[in-house]
Amino acid sequence: MKLKELYDFVVKEGVKEDPRGEQKVKKELSRAKKTYDDLKPGAKAEFDKESLENPYADTRILYGDADKEIKGIIIGVDMEIGELLLADRLRQKGKVIDLVIAHHPEGRALAGFYKVMNMQVDILAKFGVPEVPAENLFQERIEKVARSVMPVNHTRAVDAAKLLDIPFMCCHTPTDNHVASFLQKIFDKKKADTLGDIIDILKKIPEYKEASGRGAGPAIISGRKQSRAGRVLIDMTGGTEGSSEIFKSLAGAGVGTIVGMHFSEEHLKKAKEANLNMIIAGHISSDTLGINLLLDKLEKKCKIKIECCSGFRRFKR
Regarding whether 110 and 226 lie in a shared domain, the answer is no
Q: Looking at residue 190, what is its pLDDT?
A: 87
Regarding whether 162 and 300 lie in a shared domain, the answer is yes
**316 found inside a domain:** no
Regarding whether 140 and 109 lie in a shared domain, the answer is yes
Domain hosting residue 189, numbered range: 179-282
Q: How many beta carbons lie within 10 A of that of residue 48, not counting itself? A: 15
Task: Give residue 112's pLDDT band: very low, low, confident or very high (50, 70, 90).
Answer: very high
pLDDT digits (tens, 9 = 90+) for 153-212: 999 999 999 999 999 999 999 999 999 999 999 999 988 999 999 999 999 999 999 999
Q: Looking at residue 289, what is its pLDDT?
A: 98
The answer to whether residues 148 and 263 touch, using CB atoms and an 8 Å cutoff, is no
**39 found inside a domain:** yes
Q: Looking at residue 179, what is its pLDDT?
A: 98
Q: What's the total number of domains in the chain? A: 2
Regarding whether 153 and 72 lie in a shared domain, the answer is yes
Sign of CA dihedral 129, 135, 139, 140: negative
Regarding whether 192 and 150 lie in a shared domain, the answer is no
**95 found inside a domain:** yes
Pairwise CA distance, residues 59 & 36, whole Å: 20
Q: How many beta carbons lie within 10 A of that of residue 49, not counting itself? A: 11
**317 found inside a domain:** no
pTM attached to this predicted model: 0.95
The answer to whether residues 246 and 227 touch, using CB atoms and an 8 Å cutoff, is no
pLDDT digits (tens, 9 = 90+) for 225-276: 999 999 999 999 998 988 889 999 999 999 999 999 999 999 999 999 999 9
Q: Looking at residue 237, what is its pLDDT?
A: 94
Regarding whether 113 and 73 lie in a shared domain, the answer is yes
Closest C-alpha to 198, from 248, 138, 258, 134: 258
Regarding whether 262 and 164 lie in a shared domain, the answer is no
**314 found inside a domain:** no
Pairwise CA distance, residues 52 & 35, whole Å: 10
Regarding whether 144 and 52 lie in a shared domain, the answer is yes
Q: What is the CATH number for 238?
A: 3.40.1390.30
Rg (CA), the chain: 20
pLDDT digits (tens, 9 = 90+) for 30-79: 999 999 999 998 899 999 999 999 999 999 999 999 999 999 999 999 99
Regarding whether 259 and 158 lie in a shared domain, the answer is no
> Is residue 206 packed enough to be buried (19+ CB in 10 Å), middle (13-18) or exposed (0-12)?
middle
**155 found inside a domain:** yes
Pairwise CA distance, residues 51 & 116, whole Å: 11
SS3 304: coil
Regarding whether 165 and 233 lie in a shared domain, the answer is no
Q: Looking at residue 50, what is its pLDDT?
A: 94
Regarding whether 149 and 75 lie in a shared domain, the answer is yes
Q: What is the DSSP string of 95-151?
A: ----EEEESS--HHHHHTGGGGGGHHHHHHHTTT--HHHHHHHHHHHHHHHHHHHTT
Tell me the mean pLDDT in the region 133-162.
Answer: 93
Regarding whether 29 and 54 lie in a shared domain, the answer is yes
Q: Looking at residue 137, what is its pLDDT?
A: 85
